[in-house]
């Protein structure tokens, strides 16, 4: 065979080899980019899950605090005529609230792990407002005015709103990313 006959076969082989190399490199680059984006996506999903968990924990504390505050205000209004069954219910709700404070501390820890210092501070202040309410408003206290009780409860609600505003903004940013 002459050299002229080998030249088209060699050229075709080189073209096939170059095509395979280009296809391999392209596939490698696409897969690498997917892995990088996938890791970022998984990280973002994990952050969202943690923020949702924090929100659920705070929601549970809020629910129990609402029951607690309603019962304490009821006890203030009824004074000595307050039924024993409601006193026992308040004792149970008080125990539940104390138990739920552990979840609030866990939520603060999660926020610190995520680097959410402002949100953690807001949550800590929310817990402090609840603790202050419990310190000031309790069964048997008669030297406090109902307006003061309502103002203390409003402080708790206001701090909860501030926390949820920060949480909501961060959550929306993560969803948009």
pLDDT in tens, 106-154: 999 999 999 999 999 999 999 999 999 999 988 888 888 889 999 999 9
Please state the domain count of the chain.
Answer: 1
In a domain, 30, yes or no: no
In a domain, 70, yes or no: yes
In a domain, 86, yes or no: yes
Dist CA 65 CA 53 (whole Å): 18
In a domain, 101, yes or no: yes
In a domain, 15, yes or no: no
CA 22 to each of CA 16, 98, 132: distance values in angstroms, whole numbers, following the listed order: 10, 64, 68
Q: Is 70 exceeded by the pLDDT of residue 40? A: no
The per-residue pLDDT of the chain, averaged, comes to 85
Provide the domain limits for residue 69: 45-176
Percentage of the chain beyond pLDDT 70 is 87
In 79-145, which residue ranges form alpha helices assigned H by DSSP?
84-113, 117-136
From the CB of residue 50, how many other CB atoms can be counted at a distance below 10 Å? 16
CA 32 to each of CA 8, 27, 37, 42: distance values in angstroms, whole numbers, following the listed order: 36, 8, 9, 15
In a domain, 8, yes or no: no
Q: Is 60 exceeded by the pLDDT of residue 1? A: no
Dist CA 70 CA 90 (whole Å): 9
In a domain, 115, yes or no: yes
Whose CA is closest to 69, among 8, 10, 155, 143?
Answer: 155
Q: What angle do CA 56, 57, 62 make, to 5 degrees?
A: 95
CA 75 to each of CA 43, 147, 157, 171: distance values in angstroms, whole numbers, following the listed order: 48, 15, 21, 39
Higher pLDDT, 123 or 175: 123
In a domain, 143, yes or no: yes
**Across 14-28, 55-69, 118-132, 137-151, least confident range:** 14-28
Dist CA 167 CA 134 (whole Å): 25
């Amino acid at each position: 065979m002459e050299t002229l006959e080998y030249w088209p076969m060699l050229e075709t082989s080189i073209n096939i080899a170059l095509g395979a190399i280009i296809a391999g490199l392209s596939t490698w680059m696409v897969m690498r980019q997917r892995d990088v984006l996938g890791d970022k996506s998984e990280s973002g999903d994990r952050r969202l899950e943690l923020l949702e968990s924090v929100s659920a924990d705070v929601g549970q504390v809020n629910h129990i605090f609402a029951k607690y505050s309603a019962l304490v205000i009821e006890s203030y209004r009824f004074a000595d005529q307050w039924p024993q069954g409601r006193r026992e219910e308040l004792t149970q709700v008080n125990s539940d609230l104390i138990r739920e404070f552990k979840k609030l501390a866990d939520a603060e820890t999660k926020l610190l792990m995520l680097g959410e210092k402002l949100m953690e501070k807001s949550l800590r202040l929310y817990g402090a407002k609840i603790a202050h309410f419990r310190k000031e408003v309790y069964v048997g206290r008669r030297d406090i005015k109902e307006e003061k009780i309502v103002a203390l409860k409003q402080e708790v609600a206001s701090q909860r709103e501030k926390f949820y505003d920060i949480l909501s903004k961060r959550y929306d940013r993560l969803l948009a990313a």
